[in-house]
Amino acid sequence: MDHRATLSDRCDLNDLQEIALRINHECNLNCAMCGQKNFHRDKEPGYIKNQLTANDVRGLIAGRPELAGKWLYIMGGEPFLNPDLFEIICCVKKLRMLCCVNTNGTFLSHRVDEFLATGIDVVMVSIDGLEKDHDSFRGKQGAFAAAVEGIRAIQNRRRLRPVVFINCIVTESNVDHLCDVAEFFTGLHVNRVNFILPLFLTMKTGRMQQRIMKEHFGFDTQFWKWFVHEPPRFETGVLRAQIASVQQRFATCRFNPDPSSIDLEAFFVHPERSFREGREETCRVPWRVLEVLANGDVTTCRDLNDFVVGNIRRESLDAIWNGKLMREYRAYIAAKGLFPICNRCCQRDGYQTEESRAYVVR
Minimum gap (Å) between residue 253 Cβ and ligand SF4: 22
**347 near ligand SF4, judged by CB under 6 A:** yes
Minimum gap (Å) between residue 108 Cβ and ligand SF4: 13
Over the window 265 to 304, marking each residue x when it contacts ligand SF4 by CB under 6 A and - when it does not, the resulting string is ------------------x-xx--------------x-x-
Which residues are paired to 73 by β-bridges? 20, 100
Which one of residues 179, 246, 317, 345 is an interface residue with ligand SF4 (CB under 6 A)? 345
Contact call for residues 17 and 72 (beta carbons, < 8 A)? no
Phi, psi at 51, each rounded to 5°: -150, 150
What sections of the chain are H helices per DSSP?
35-41, 54-61, 85-94, 112-117, 131-138, 143-157, 178-186, 203-217, 236-249, 264-269, 285-288, 317-321, 324-336, 352-360
Number of residues that bind ligand SF4 (CB under 6 A): 24
- Which of 326, 263, 237 shows the shortest CA–CA distance to 13? 326
**Whole-angstrom Cα Rg for the chain:** 20
**104 near ligand SF4, judged by CB under 6 A:** yes
- Helices 131-138, 143-157: axis angle to 10 degrees equals 110
The length of the chain is 362
Q: Of 36-75, which residues contact ligand SF4 (CB under 6 A)?
A: 36-37
**Which segment (55-63, 180-188, 229-237, 341-349) binds ligand SF4 by CB under 6 A?**
341-349
Which one of residues 17, 20, 76, 205 is an interface residue with ligand SF4 (CB under 6 A)? 76
Whole-number Cα distances in Å, 75 to 28, 100, 168, 229, 297: 14, 9, 16, 22, 15
Minimum gap (Å) between residue 111 Cβ and ligand SF4: 19
User: Reduced to 3 states, what is the DSSP secondary structure of residue 198?
Assistant: coil
Q: 15 or 235: whose CB is closer to ligand SF4? A: 15
Q: 121 or 303: whose CB is closer to ligand SF4? A: 303
Whole-number Cα distances in Å, 284 to 4, 287, 300: 10, 5, 11
Which one of residues 339, 353, 356, 360 is an interface residue with ligand SF4 (CB under 6 A)? 339
What's the CA gap between 127 and 147, in Å, rounded? 8
Which one of residues 342, 352, 353, 360 is an interface residue with ligand SF4 (CB under 6 A)? 342
Q: 29 or 91: whose CB is closer to ligand SF4? A: 29
Minimum gap (Å) between residue 14 Cβ and ligand SF4: 20
**34 near ligand SF4, judged by CB under 6 A:** yes
Work out the end-to-end distance of the chain between its first and last CA atoms, rounded to an integer number of angstroms: 32
Summarize as ranges the residues that interact with ligand SF4 (CB under 6 A): 27, 29-31, 34, 36-37, 76-78, 104, 138, 283, 285-286, 301, 303, 338-339, 341-342, 345, 347-348
